[in-house]
């Protein structure tokens, strides 16, 4: 067991001489991912004695994500100047793929090249999460790794600690922050949340690739200078077949992350397996030139809770709060793919509520409830609620949006730019007719615009 204790903690009630952790800590955080470390930093800064428990060999060892870390809250909590960031996002590109075509939109505002770079950076979790947990330790938290929380300890209904897989592994503390991730075995086992339906879970697979024979492959293929990077998102049948989801390419410093995520309910039916779907995406004619001659550095997989606002479990329990992916705090509305910022935000608010509860001595159902209120007032719940309608609408329109429309856009594009001896007007009319036929004429187009009016 790795222990990194910090002598600066000045809790008079803490007996540092005994290896028995009981009552030594004010709060236990389950999981040293983004939400857990954010909570730990927040509480340690307010002089709580915090135990941060991680089941992996080091923080990040069990963690996978697509690739972009959003830092607006994070940089308020810690100084990210020394953080292991890979590249900032200087360009975002959205590509619609049919089996052979791509129709894409790219944006690269000049200001993204200036600090703070729109608070968007690629990172590798094995490095970043380790660094972030170190910031919690520097603030006074105690980190233990290779230790798995297997259950919660209750006393008269109240959660008063955790069971671990270590010998005599019961550790008691007045507060527990559950930051165990989307595969929430502890929270579910303790009946604090229900198992999500496969319709609300995405399976994600990812490869980190390197280009051993091409030193400047990343800079040249993605048109990058210095620390600039890109975020490419892909939709349509060329990305994920007829599943509901999408593919991505993100540039790291010396590698690229390529992967995809789509609903488990689709993965169970009409698809090749996730690995086969990834292989097909990587060999798409619009994607393959970006990835040729690459070698796999790492292959990873994870599940993503994408149930939105309706899937958020009860966040506050007697003696415990739930944060991050465990609380289902992920936004995927097609254009925005966010979870890292929500994890940090939730950890921050939960940490503050626990610190408040520990200091005030008031009944904690009341004080911990502040976490629920703060999160509801924050961008996290607001954004999830804002796009709740969108997911339903997109699901109902999925064939139109992911198959019919991408094909019509590709056809209309080639029609519009068709080089022959016919007058431009004829091609423009034909291109318009092709698009209109896909959406059901002017009436259909108006209905479509109405269905998505809240997007703008």
Partner 1 sequence: MSAQPKVPTVENESLEDRLYTVKYEDPGESHLDVTIPGICAEKCTTYDCTSVCPANVWRKGEDGVPQIAYENCLECSSCRFACPHGNVEWSYPETGSGVTYKNG
What residues make contact with partner 1 under the rule CB under 8 A? 55-57, 60-65, 124-127, 129, 145-148, 150, 165-166, 182-183, 185, 195-198, 201, 203-205, 207-208, 255, 257, 264, 267-269, 271, 273-275, 278-279, 282-283, 285, 287-289, 291-292, 294-303
Output the smallest distance, CB 114 to partner 1, in A: 28
Backbone angles phi, psi at 56, to 5 degrees: -80, 175
Residue the block writes with tokens 């550790």: 171
Kindly tell me which of 184 and 370 has the beta carbon lying closer to partner 1: 184
Kindly tell me which of 80 and 260 has the beta carbon lying closer to partner 1: 260
Output the smallest distance, CB 344 to partner 1, in A: 17
Kindly tell me which of 114 and 275 has the beta carbon lying closer to partner 1: 275
Work out the burial of residue 1: count CB atoms within 10 Å of its CB; fewer than 13 is exposed, 13-18 middle, 19 or more buried: exposed
Kindly tell me which of 192 and 401 has the beta carbon lying closer to partner 1: 192
Backbone angles phi, psi at 172, to 5 degrees: -105, 145
Kindly tell me which of 133 and 367 has the beta carbon lying closer to partner 1: 133
3-state SS, residue 171 = strand
Kindly tell me which of 64 and 178 has the beta carbon lying closer to partner 1: 64
**Token pair in block for residue 246:** 């999408």
CB burial readout 310-343, b (16+ within 10 A) else e: ebbbebbbebbbbbbbbbbbbbbbbeebbbbbbb
**Spatial distance between the Cα atoms of 440 and 413, rounded to a whole number of angstroms:** 18
**Through-space distance between the first and last CA atoms of the chain, rounded to whole angstroms:** 52
Contact (CB, 8 A) for 259 and 206 = yes
Kindly tell me which of 267 and 358 has the beta carbon lying closer to partner 1: 267
Output the smallest distance, CB 257 to partner 1, in A: 8
Output the smallest distance, CB 96 to partner 1, in A: 18
**Spatial distance between the Cα atoms of 409 and 428, rounded to a whole number of angstroms:** 13
Residue 353, H or E segment: helix 340-360
Output the smallest distance, CB 174 to partner 1, in A: 25
Nearest to 260 by CA among 294, 403, 270, 243: 243
Kindly tell me which of 274 and 351 has the beta carbon lying closer to partner 1: 274
Output the smallest distance, CB 266 to partner 1, in A: 9
Kindly tell me which of 116 and 272 has the beta carbon lying closer to partner 1: 272
**Token pair in block for residue 136:** 């919690």
Output the smallest distance, CB 208 to partner 1, in A: 5
**Spatial distance between the Cα atoms of 286 and 237, rounded to a whole number of angstroms:** 13
CB burial readout 226-264, b (16+ within 10 A) else e: eebbbbbbbbbbbbbbebbbbbbbbbbeebbbbbbbbbb
Output the smallest distance, CB 368 to partner 1, in A: 26
Output the smallest distance, CB 271 to partner 1, in A: 7
Backbone angles phi, psi at 439, to 5 degrees: -100, 0
């Amino acid at each position: 067991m790795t222990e990194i204790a910090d002598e600066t903690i000045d809790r008079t009630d803490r007996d540092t001489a005994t290896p028995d952790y009981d009552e030594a800590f004010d709060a236990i955080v389950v999981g040293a991912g983004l939400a857990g470390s954010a909570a730990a930093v927040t509480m340690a800064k307010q002089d709580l004695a915090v135990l941060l428990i991680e089941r992996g060999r080091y923080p990040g060892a069990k963690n996978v994500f697509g690739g972009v870390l959003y830092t607006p809250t994070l940089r308020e909590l810690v100084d990210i100047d020394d953080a292991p960031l890979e590249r900032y996002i200087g360009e975002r590109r959205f590509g619609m793929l049919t089996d052979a075509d791509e129709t894409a939109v790219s944006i690269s505002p000049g200001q993204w090249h200036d600090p703070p770079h729109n608070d968007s950076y690629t990172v590798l979790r094995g490095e970043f999460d380790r660094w972030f947990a170190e910031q919690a330790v520097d603030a006074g938290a105690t980190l233990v790794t290779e230790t798995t929380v297997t259950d919660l300890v209750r006393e008269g209904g109240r959660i008063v600690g955790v069971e671990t897989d270590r010998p005599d592994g019961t550790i008691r503390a007045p507060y527990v922050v559950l930051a165990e991730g989307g595969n929430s075995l502890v929270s579910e086992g303790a009946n604090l949340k229900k198992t999500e339906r496969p319709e609300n879970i995405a399976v994600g697979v990812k490869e980190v690739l390197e280009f051993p024979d091409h030193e400047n492959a990343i800079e040249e293929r993605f048109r990058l200078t210095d620390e600039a990077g890109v975020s490419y998102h892909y939709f349509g049948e060329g990305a994920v077949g007829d599943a509901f989801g999408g593919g991505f390419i993100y540039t790291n410093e010396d590698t690229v992350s390529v992967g995809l995520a789509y609903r488990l309910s689709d993965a169970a039916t009409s698809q090749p397996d996730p690995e086969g779907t990834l292989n097909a995406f990587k060999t798409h004619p619009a994607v393959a030139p970006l990835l040729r001659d690459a070698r796999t550095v790492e292959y990873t997989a994870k599940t993503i809770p994408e149930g939105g606002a309706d899937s958020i479990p009860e966040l506050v329990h007697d003696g415990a709060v739930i944060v991050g992916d465990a609380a289902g705090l992920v936004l995927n509305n097609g254009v925005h793919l966010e979870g890292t910022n929500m994890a940090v935000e939730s950890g921050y608010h939960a940490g503050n509520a626990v610190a408040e509860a520990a200091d005030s001595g008031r009944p904690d159902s009341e004080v911990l409830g502040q976490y629920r209120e703060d999160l509801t007032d924050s961008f996290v719940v607001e954004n999830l609620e804002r796009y709740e309608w969108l997911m339903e609408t997109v699901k109902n329109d999925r064939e139109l949006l992911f198959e019919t429309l991408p094909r019509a856009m590709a056809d209309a594009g080639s029609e519009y730019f068709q080089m022959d001896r016919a007058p431009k007007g004829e091609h423009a009319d034909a291109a318009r007719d092709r698009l209109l036929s896909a959406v059901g004429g002017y009436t259909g187009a108006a209905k479509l615009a109405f269905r998505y009016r809240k997007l703008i």
